């Protein structure tokens, strides 16, 4: 471990080979998607072409469109392409660092649209932590709505929570824990009826839901085809196969996008308008997302989603065959909530991490994100680890659910917690 308090720059610098050698040694302990032991991450190894494009265009700065006009034109094309995926032919927006920036930016636009005196945001208990950051930054009041038995925001309770202070509603299309999709159609009607800003956080689901039906699985409406939707977060660096960092915020139209605009006068390329929180942005990300969209095309994304969903359902079925384990709910997209019927989620995660598996921990379950770097062959050792953990508990048959509760579907208390099974209520 380096002593940070005694560090200083080398007087003469280091030779390139020495720098690379030390970096290789220092970063060797980091996890890699190539190892296939990363099971909890909502990102994956990027498409190889997209990764090479990113490395090739590192000097581009998307934050100075006058200096890099071709990069700006590429970004406009990327926004148009992603808008077309989400039924937004007139969509405007920008590539950003990720879902956190996009969600904060969306609520900033909603606040500016609402004007003074309205600071209340209605959102589900399953909403991403970035909305808590936004509330702290902008002094917003968050009203978190309980989930129904499908782990979706209860639209009836959302309607009851509205007040004269309400400025926005947030719906999630692919929750962080379980991939659940809120009733965006009902929220859209609610937003229209009360003239509220409706933001949809589809950071994960944005590159899954548009392709589910063609892949042979049921989908849900969540996009700009619903007239009440004002903006959508969608992350190309998740299921869009682009390298990190590559998030995106799309607005329904130019009028809404203007609420996120800031004029900058001193740029080298001349005065410009920015619609992001950060100024300097990697143009390499713009080129990489453009490359991923054109390289894969619609058929390629349908294939990616179909393979991920087939693998997800296979894994869920195999988990159900191991005594003492169950999935929280039937997967909506390529996310699985894994529950031990005998161990707490943190204890289970600790046992899995001892065996090298990198998983995400929630209050009552462990999340598995079935991403493109995984396969059946790579997941078989994970199932063996679960069987070994079950065997450690002695007579594993005693861990099975009582008769009549085989599905082990849990009652929601937000993505991070549950209150027993549905039949317990």
Q: Please tell me whether residues 330 and 386 are part of one structural domain.
A: yes
pLDDT value for 8: 85
pLDDT value for 7: 83
Q: Please tell me whether residues 73 and 202 are part of one structural domain.
A: yes
Cα–Cα distance for residue pair 294/285, rounded to 1 Å: 14
pLDDT value for 386: 97
Q: Please tell me whether residues 345 and 408 are part of one structural domain.
A: yes
Q: Please tell me whether residues 287 and 304 are part of one structural domain.
A: no
Helices (H), 162-282: 184-194, 209-215, 254-257
pLDDT value for 420: 30
SS3 assignment, position 418: strand
**pTM of this structure:** 0.91
Q: Please tell me whether residues 284 and 317 are part of one structural domain.
A: no
Instruction: Show which of 296, 324, 358 is a domain's final residue.
Output: 296
Q: Is residue 38 part of a domain?
A: no
Cα–Cα distance for residue pair 274/280, rounded to 1 Å: 10
Q: Is residue 159 part of a domain?
A: yes
The rounded average pLDDT for each run of 10 residues, N- to C-terminus, in the chain (425 residues) is: 81 94 94 90 97 98 97 98 97 98 98 93 98 98 97 98 97 98 98 98 98 97 98 98 98 98 95 95 98 98 98 98 96 97 96 96 97 96 97 52 36 42 27
> How many other C-beta atoms can be found within 10 angstroms of the C-beta atom of residue 206?
29
Residues 6+ apart with CB under 8 A from 378: 36
The model's pLDDT over 168-213, given as tens digits with 9 standing for 90+, comes to 999 999 999 999 999 999 999 999 999 999 999 999 999 999 999 9
pLDDT value for 414: 52
CATH number at residue 228: 3.40.640.10
Instruction: Show which of 281, 296, 311 is a domain's final residue.
Output: 296
pLDDT value for 412: 52
Q: Is residue 148 part of a domain?
A: yes
CB half-sphere exposure, 133, CA atoms < 13 A: 11
Instruction: Show which of 296, 315, 349 is a domain's final residue.
Output: 296
Q: Is residue 15 part of a domain?
A: no
The pair of three-digit structure tokens given for residue 363, joined into one six-digit string = 């209050």
How many domains is the chain partitioned into structurally?
2
Q: Are strands 325-327 and 335-340 parallel, antiparallel or unpaired?
A: antiparallel
Q: Please tell me whether residues 237 and 324 are part of one structural domain.
A: no
The residue range of the domain holding 420 is: 298-424
Q: Please tell me whether residues 119 and 244 are part of one structural domain.
A: yes
pLDDT value for 4: 82
The pair of three-digit structure tokens given for residue 23, joined into one six-digit string = 């970096």
Q: Please tell me whether residues 210 and 344 are part of one structural domain.
A: no
**CA 382 to centroid of chain Cα atoms:** 23
Q: Please tell me whether residues 163 and 216 are part of one structural domain.
A: yes
Q: Please tell me whether residues 278 and 303 are part of one structural domain.
A: no
The pair of three-digit structure tokens given for residue 64, joined into one six-digit string = 């100075």
**Backbone φ and ψ of 369, nearest 5°:** -100, 115
Q: 339 - beta bridge partners?
A: 326
Q: Is residue 91 part of a domain?
A: yes
pLDDT value for 109: 98
Q: Tell me which DSSP letter residue 114 carries.
A: H
Q: Is residue 37 part of a domain?
A: no
Q: Please tell me whether residues 306 and 275 are part of one structural domain.
A: no
Q: Is residue 92 part of a domain?
A: yes
Cα–Cα distance for residue pair 108/95, rounded to 1 Å: 16
Q: Please tell me whether residues 345 and 283 are part of one structural domain.
A: no
**CA–CA distance from 218 to each of 49, 208, 212 (Å)?**
30, 11, 6
Q: Are strands 360-361 and 366-369 parallel, antiparallel or unpaired?
A: antiparallel
CATH number at residue 419: 3.90.1150.10
Q: Tell me which DSSP letter residue 14 carries.
A: -
Q: Is residue 70 part of a domain?
A: yes
């Amino acid at each position: 471990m380096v002593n940070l308090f005694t560090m200083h720059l080398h007087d003469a610098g280091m030779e390139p080979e020495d720098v690379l050698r030390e970096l290789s040694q220092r970063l060797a302990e980091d996890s890699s998607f190539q190892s296939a032991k990363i099971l909890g991450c909502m990102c994956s190894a990027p498409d190889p072409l997209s990764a090479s494009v990113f490395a090739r265009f590192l000097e581009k700065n998307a934050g100075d469109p006058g200096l890099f006009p071709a990069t700006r034109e590429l970004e406009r094309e990327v926004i148009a392409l992603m808008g077309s995926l989400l039924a937004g032919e007139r969509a405007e927006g920008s590539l950003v660092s990720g879902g956190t920036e996009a969600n904060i930016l969306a609520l900033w636009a909603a606040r500016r649209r609402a004007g003074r005196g309205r600071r209340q945001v209605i959102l589900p208990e399953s909403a991403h932590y970035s909305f808590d950051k936004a509330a702290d930054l902008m002094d917003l009041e968050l009203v978190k709505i309980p989930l129904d038995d499908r782990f979706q925001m209860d639209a009836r309770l959302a309607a009851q929570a509205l007040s004269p202070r309400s400025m926005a509603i947030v719906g999630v299309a692919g929750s962080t824990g379980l991939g659940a999709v809120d009733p965006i159609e009902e929220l859209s009607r609610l937003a229209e009826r009360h003239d509220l800003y409706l933001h949809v956080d589809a950071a994960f689901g944005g590159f899954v839901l548009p392709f589910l039906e063609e892949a042979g699985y049921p989908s849900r409406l969540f996009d700009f085809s619903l007239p009440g939707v004002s903006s959508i977060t969608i992350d190309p660096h998740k299921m869009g196969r682009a390298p990190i960092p590559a998030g995106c915020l799309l607005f329904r139209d130019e009028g809404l996008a203007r609420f996120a605009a800031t004029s900058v006068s001193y740029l080298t390329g001349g005065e410009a308008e920015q619609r992001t929180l950060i100024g300097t942005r990697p143009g390499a990300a713009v080129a990489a997302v453009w490359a991923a969209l054109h390289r894969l095309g619609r058929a390629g994304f349908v294939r990616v989603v179909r393979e991920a969903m087939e693998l997800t359902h296979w894994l869920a079925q195999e988990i159900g065959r191991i005594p003492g384990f169950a999935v929280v709910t039937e997967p909506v997209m390529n996310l699985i909530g894994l529950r031990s019927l005998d161990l707490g989620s943190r204890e289970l995660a600790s046992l899995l991490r001892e065996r090298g598996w990198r998983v995400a921990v929630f209050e009552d379950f462990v999340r598995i994100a079935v991403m493109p770097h995984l396969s059946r062959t790579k997941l078989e050792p994970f199932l063996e680890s679960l069987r070994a953990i079950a065997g450690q508990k002695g007579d594993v048959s005693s861990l099975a659910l009582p008769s009549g509760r085989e599905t082990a579907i849990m009652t929601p208390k937000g993505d991070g917690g549950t209150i027993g099974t549905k039949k317990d209520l």
